[in-house]
Amino acid sequence: MTIRGGSVSAARPLILEARGGSIPTSPLSLRFDLIDSGRFSALNAEWHRTLPHIAARNTISPCFGAWHDGECYAVAGWSNPVARALPQRTWLELRRFAVAPDAPRFTASRMLGFMVRWIRLRMSHIERLISYSDSDEHNGTIYKAVDWRQHQLPASGGAWNNRQRWNRTALRKANKIRWEFECRKAGVG
């Protein structure tokens, strides 16, 4: 499989004669699958608008990609919740979700729906999925489209610097919205 990204950007014709395929015009033509964390990190760095890099202290797994004709159009990586007060064994946090600029419209919502179904089927111990969005940048359309619930969180207000979190004050200080999806009731298999 080839991977788009890197420093080269090129316009492509609608019909790709060499491969006999076409550029996807609908998210229905995308195939979703697991990808390795290295590929996820590289494409996230290329496409994520505000936080292209992810802290190495959290294990990112599982990672997913959206594919069409051997090309990747979106990536997402999950981990245990960063907030240590949240359940670490039964919740998963969507840490990064990056979509290529030439991906079909609604790719993010369709991929999020796929990932929810995949996690529910293959990670039966997970009770809740969470993700955070910056209220200045996003209005939560992808989460609303697949029935996630919104929880307003206060702005950080203070500095995040300490020995383990160097220079975190550079992070955006807008209000954060936590989105949640209940996979199953707590304690119910």
pTM: 0.75
Tell me what the mean pLDDT of segment 18-22 comes to.
48
**Domain membership flag for residue 6:** no
Tens of pLDDT, residue by residue over 30-52, are: 999 999 988 988 888 888 766 65
Which of 10-14, 87-91, 185-189 tops mean pLDDT? 87-91
**Domain membership flag for residue 1:** no
Residue at 29: amino acid letter: S
How many domains in the chain? 1
Residue at 75: amino acid letter: V
Domain of 162, CATH number, reads 3.40.630.30
Provide the residue range defining the domain that includes 107: 15-182
CA distance to 32, 56, 76, 108, 123, per residue, from 90 (Å): 24, 21, 19, 24, 9
**pLDDT computed for residue 21 by the predictor:** 54
